[in-house]
Structure 1
Amino acid sequence: MWSLRGIAWTLWPLLLAAAAGGDIKARSCSEVRQAYHAKGFGLVNVPHQEISGEHLHVCPQGYTCCTSDMEDKLHQQSKLEFEKLVEESSSDMRAMFVSRHKKFDEFFLELLDNSERSLSSMFTRTFGKLYMKNSEVFQDLFTELKRYYTGGNVNLEEMLNDFWSRLLERMFQLLNSQYHFTDDYLECVSKYSDQLKPFGDVPRKLKAQVTRALIAARTFVQGLMVGREVANRVARVNVAPACVRALTRMLYCPYCRSMPGLKPCQNYCQNVMRGCLANQADLDPEWNVFIDAMLLVADRLQGPLSIEAVIEPIDVKISEAIMTMQDNSGHLSAKVFQRCGPPKASGTGRSARGISDVFSARFRPFPPEERPTTATGTFLDRLRGVWRTMQHSVSFLFLVPFTESPVAQLL
């Protein structure tokens, strides 16, 4: 591609001479001096009239307004301006990924924080000190949920199973406080939890919903980080020597031919850009796959199983599980005693009545207008318009013709 252009530039002086009726008289370089100085270069040793151009390596030889030093500087200027404009052209895309990642990340973490606050407030109103003494069970649950979301090495299924086992052990002891239970006995209680289903079907449903929602949320935010990294790398163009030569011929060789105002045609511009941005254009299919995958993840974050629909009412779902165990505590205890053996009396003479009175209370979930909400709207507020922005931002490298892109400022 470059060799053909080189031939064209070699023929150009001859064509110009023919167009001028064969007159190849040296011309004034005053316009070139003005344009060259406007680029920030000094005018020392810049010719006032065309000189012989055998010394040129990039631009066509013949009568010229360029010295070797001028050609070298214009050659370097082509590279610097191209790198700067590509970097500026990608700035919107990079800024979009940074801001979207920040907003979604804040939203998901605030959603978890609000859910934890709601649970703590509800359980404190219902159980008071009894909840406070066992609050670490619930605090640990939200700590692990946040650790998973932020990229921690957490097995969600195992962590949720452990939460329900710990809650079962605490609840079983509180509902049977007249007995003393060893660690081995409590382990036996947990062993039969799948068969006894002390919390009904809530653990199974909640585990499936929370796992699905958090995996999607973490994947979505990590995908935004990947997009940001891709945008950063695309902005750092590795300009090949052949590209710099082509840019110089297109942008600044007209200076050397005493025609600094001469503009190349659109097709020529596009061909040069395709050559210079060939590596970036190769990313186009992979970028489309990435966008499609992110759209699929975003779909999983919406609807009845969205992270908002799952995480916001998690306090109510856990309270329903506890009420199920309360309602069936007598039947449950009898089955446990049958399978794990009769427990030993605590020896304190303490009655279970006080504990039972506490557990006879029913949870009072927050009315919708009182439930804590995120400070900056919903997931859908953030999702709206993201993908259109993404696809438009990357198009300056892959889809938009050169003359319609910011790089056309070079002309």
Structure 2
Amino acid sequence: DVKASAAVSFVCDWLASDPVCFSIGPGEHLRLCPQDYTCCSSQMEETLAHQSETDFLSAIDDTSQFLHTTFTQRHRKFDEFFRELIDLSEKSMNQMFTKTYGRLFTQNANVFQELFVELRRYYSGGSVSLTEVLSEFWSRLVERVFSLVNPQYQFSDEYLECVNKHAEQLQPFGDLPRKLGLQVSRAFIAARALVQGLATGRDIVNKAAKLSAGAGCVRALMRQWYCPLCRGMPSLRPCHTLCLNVMKGCLANTADLDTEWNNFIDALYQVSEKLEGPFNMELAADSISVKVSEAIMHMQENSIATSTKVFQGCGSPRLTPGRSRRSPKESGGNRRPFRTFSPEEKPTTATGTNLDRLVSELKERLRPMRGFWVSLPHTICNDKNMAADVTNEDRCWNGQTRGRYLPDVTGDGLMSQINNPEVEVDMARPDVRTRQLIMELRVATNRLKHAQAGQDTDFMDSKSPPPPPTQHKYYDWFGCPTLFLEIYCPVGFQSNPNFAYLIKLVKVLLSS
């Protein structure tokens, strides 16, 4: 008792300037700390409890900061880069087509301008179908080129519609629209999915890191961090395993993000690899001018056969006033209003191989993000300011006094906290906010998986093959997808006696 009293006197001297530290004495008034000799008043205990919550939330925020910073910076860099690629592609086309085609291009520049307007709108998240955008571009282009290779005729809007109908069968641009469409669609879908995925990652980290510590968590935090101070041992750190049990209890719901978080990180990694390879956005942006020019040349070189078949199907068009009727061979055989690019004229990008560097940096930063949420207790407790070193288990605070902490370390996630000796966790009430984050992660992962296959989830038809399989199976439950129940019920929750009540609640919500 004398030794304990001396220790308490030391702490009281240390806190002498604090008006809430009144006297040394028994601790029967304490609600959170052991009720032995203490220098903490009830008011001080309450103040320290609030401080422990603040310290905990600050630790979460500090630990997750690198995630937030990475997603924010990578999102900005990729977004700026992709937008620059689109701008450079349009600028390159304007410069080279003006040089190559002169007035013919400037008179029809709106066709190309509209293409890039729609490409930007798609990339920015607009409700735009790339297939429809490119189809509309080629339809408008075939009308313009057909008129230019047959200048002796006047074509009405109805006649040009007929030309478009025959173009589907005649393929005046050869296979180039299909090739360009495949290349551009894959690249733009992957680029948009990656940028949206990085924004989603940033937002989810923001939400997941903004926790609210429950009463049971705050009690445990106070007991491990500040009760030693009230006992006169301000420098004594909690035992490492004590800290782990407290953190696993406080972060039980957050740990349940782990599976979907890892799936999401893997999907981001795989999409970035696609952009580095077959879905390369740099190559796709560069190829627009080249392939469009080659398509125009293909149509001109085959203009005689194309015009003949169109005239057969659509009828003879009206002559332009002052023009005489000539055969397709006479009218188009020797005229070359267009020419293709020479190799030195083909577009290059000022950004060079920046995409490879950006993707490499992103992949390097994504790797350590796997398992972040489930390992968060270990990350915090490995901080020397938060807990004693694992090698110091006999000289640490075990929750009551100095000594080894004997209870086993509990598992991860909500359902593993049933036997947590430090934090009382209500497993019958899963955290709705965490389940909503799981939903957001699943939706984002699904979009990324489809992007890996060159598919846009906003414009999928019934013929599109499914994305790579996930770990989740979906069944109908009371006429609705069990995705709802999977999100709002953690694994193993079906065995909980409150599950039947939740089913009833879900039915009420769905019927309201």
Whether the TM-score (by the shorter chain) exceeds 0.5 is yes
Q: Flag structure 2 segments of 5+ consecutive residues without an equivalent.
A: 388-512
Q: 1:399 aligns with which of 359, 369, 375?
A: 375
Relative to structure 1, the CA distance from residue 45 to residue 121 in structure 2 (aligned partners, 3 Å threshold; closer, same or farther) is closer
The one-letter amino acid of 1:32's match is V
Q: 2:11 aligns with which of 23, 29, 32?
A: 32
Q: 1:214 aligns with which of 173, 188, 197?
A: 188
1:208 Cα deviation after fit: 1.6
* Structure 2 match to 1:43: 18
Relative to structure 1, the CA distance from residue 350 to residue 140 in structure 2 (aligned partners, 3 Å threshold; closer, same or farther) is farther
Q: Which has the higher helix share?
A: 1
In 2, the alpha carbon distance for the partners of 1:58 and 1:69 equals: 12
Q: How does 1:1-400 map to 2 (within 5 A)?
A: 26-27=5-6, 29-33=8-12, 36=15, 43-47=18-22, 50-349=24-323, 359-366=337-344, 371-374=348-351, 377-393=353-369, 395=371, 397-399=373-375
The one-letter amino acid of 1:372's match is T
Listed one character per residue, the Cα deviations across residues 67-98 of structure 1 (whole Å, up to 9, x for unaligned) are 01110100100001111121111111101100
1:253 Cα deviation after fit: 0.6
In 1, the alpha carbon distance for the partners of 2:333 and 2:348 equals: 28
| Matched residues, number | 383
Relative to structure 1, the CA distance from residue 321 to residue 184 in structure 2 (aligned partners, 3 Å threshold; closer, same or farther) is same
Report sequence identity in percent.
45
1:143 Cα deviation after fit: 1.1
- 8 A contact 1:100–1:224 mirrored in 2: yes
1:396 Cα deviation after fit: 5.2
If asked which structure has higher relative contact order (CA below 8 Å, sep 6+), I would say: 1
- 8 A contact 1:92–1:393 mirrored in 2: no
Residue 22 of structure 2 aligns to a residue whose secondary structure is coil
- 8 A contact 1:291–1:387 mirrored in 2: no
Greater CA deviation, 287-296 or 299-308?
299-308
In 2, the alpha carbon distance for the partners of 1:372 and 1:289 equals: 34
TM, length-normalised to structure 2: 0.70
1:124 Cα deviation after fit: 0.5
Listed one character per residue, the Cα deviations across residues 189-227 of structure 1 (whole Å, up to 9, x for unaligned) are 000111111101101111122111111111111111111
In 2, the alpha carbon distance for the partners of 1:395 and 1:31 equals: 43
Greater CA deviation, 358-367 or 251-260?
358-367
Root-mean-square deviation (Å):
2.5
In 2, the alpha carbon distance for the partners of 1:393 and 1:264 equals: 27
Larger radius of gyration: 1
Q: Flag structure 1 segments of 5+ consecutive residues without an equivalent.
A: 1-16, 18-22
Residue 384 of structure 1 aligns to a residue whose secondary structure is helix
TM, length-normalised to structure 1: 0.86
In 2, the alpha carbon distance for the partners of 1:201 and 1:25 equals: 89
- 8 A contact 1:97–1:225 mirrored in 2: yes
